[in-house]
């Protein structure tokens, strides 16, 4: 999706936008299933939909929780969601070095306030 296409999609006045998806990527098939379902529901309701999932979830409730597939596998999954489902994709980044590769794979980058201060 080009920048201008994305802007046209998300800048519609008086239109609700839903940013949703699994907290962390568990598998490509689950992400695609969730994205397709949310896209259908949003289209039926006239809501703009953006898929969101994290490839590395550093802020978890337990240190034993899975963090996700990591940047390389995670970005490949997010690319597949964008291409197969045809929706804009958003993910959060943890470090400056993640910006360039992530920007190539998704449409919107998020820098959560807590992650800016967080350490692994």
The DSSP H or E segment spanning 83 is: helix 71-85
Interval 28-78: pLDDT, tens: 999 999 999 999 999 999 999 999 999 988 766 677 777 899 999 999 999
Q: What is the pLDDT of residue 99?
A: 92
- Mean pLDDT score across all residues of the chain: 86
CA atoms within 13 A on the CB side of 117: 2
Instruction: Give every CB contact of residue 2 below 8 A, 6+ residues apart in sequence.
Output: none
Q: What is the pTM of this model?
A: 0.85
Q: What is the pLDDT of residue 20?
A: 97
CA atoms within 13 A on the CB side of 32: 11
Query: 58 versus 80: which is more confidently predicted?
Result: 80
Domain ranges within the chain, ordered by starting residue: 17-117
**Of 52, 39, 40, 109, nearest to 78 (Cα)?**
52
Please answer whether residues 73 and 41 qualify as being in contact, where contact means their C-beta atoms are separated by less than 8 angstroms.
Answer: no
Class of domain 17-117: alpha beta
**Is 3's pLDDT higher than 70?**
no
CA angle 35, 81, 39 (to 5 degrees): 25
**Of 37, 45, 36, nearest to 82 (Cα)?**
36
**Is 89's pLDDT higher than 80?**
yes
């Amino acid at each position: 999706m080009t920048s201008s296409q994305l802007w046209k999609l998300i800048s519609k006045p008086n239109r609700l936008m839903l940013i949703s998806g699994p907290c962390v990527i568990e598998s490509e098939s689950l992400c695609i299933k969730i994205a397709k379902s949310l896209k259908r529901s949003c289209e039926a309701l006239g809501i703009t939909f953006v898929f969101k999932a994290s490839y590395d979830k550093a802020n978890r409730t337990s240190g034993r929780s899975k963090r996700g597939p990591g940047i390389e596998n995670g970005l490949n999954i997010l690319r597949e969601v964008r291409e197969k489902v045809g929706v804009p994709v958003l993910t959060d980044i943890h470090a400056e070095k993640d910006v360039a590769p992530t920007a190539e794979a998704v449409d919107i980058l998020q820098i959560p306030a807590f992650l800016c201060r967080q350490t692994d």
